[in-house]
Structure 1
Amino acid sequence: MTFVENVLLGAAAAFVLTSLVALYRIVDGPTMPDRVIAVNVVGSNVVIVIALLAAAIGEPGALDIALVYALLNFLLSIAISKFTVERGGVL
């Protein structure tokens, strides 16, 4: 493995660790907006990890998967926010 591949895999591992920290906020978030933001952070980190892994292994087709996942993450954030506002969960 080359140095660049090792750096990309290390960066992907760092984003996975960040996602694990955000999982705590999803489970133990004091308010619903905290949980929504944490879910969005985890989704964004997953997109970044997929893109970094695609670059590390040289598979450009995985970038399409990352793009679709990013769009789904955005729609999920909008849906959760709309549901929260309609239920009166916004402070």
Structure 2
Amino acid sequence: MLSHYTVGPIPPPLNELLMNTSNKMEEVDVLRVKLEVLRREHRDLDEAIEALHDRGSADMLTIKRLKKQKLALKDRIAQLEDRILPDIIA
């Protein structure tokens, strides 16, 4: 009895669901790119701080500012990671 069953356009609720899923995927992709950029900046700051320590010529105020920036980046990285993979309490 399926011979008279026809497949038409996707119903609006399902179409919206598919579009939202696509938008969500795009959002996650954007967040992952941002996350990678922040991780790279964090790594660069770490290397800069280490280089200043090794050289011994940097003032402590500069090192303190760089460490503060590094900590702020770490917080932003954690926020993005939580948005990408939220904790699910089972």
Question: Could you tell me the TM-score, scaled by structure 1's length?
Answer: 0.44
Q: Could you say which structure has the greater relative contact order, defined with CA pairs below 8 angstroms and 6 or more residues apart? A: 2
Question: Could you tell me the TM-score, scaled by structure 2's length?
Answer: 0.44
**Which structure's residues are more often helix, by fraction?**
1
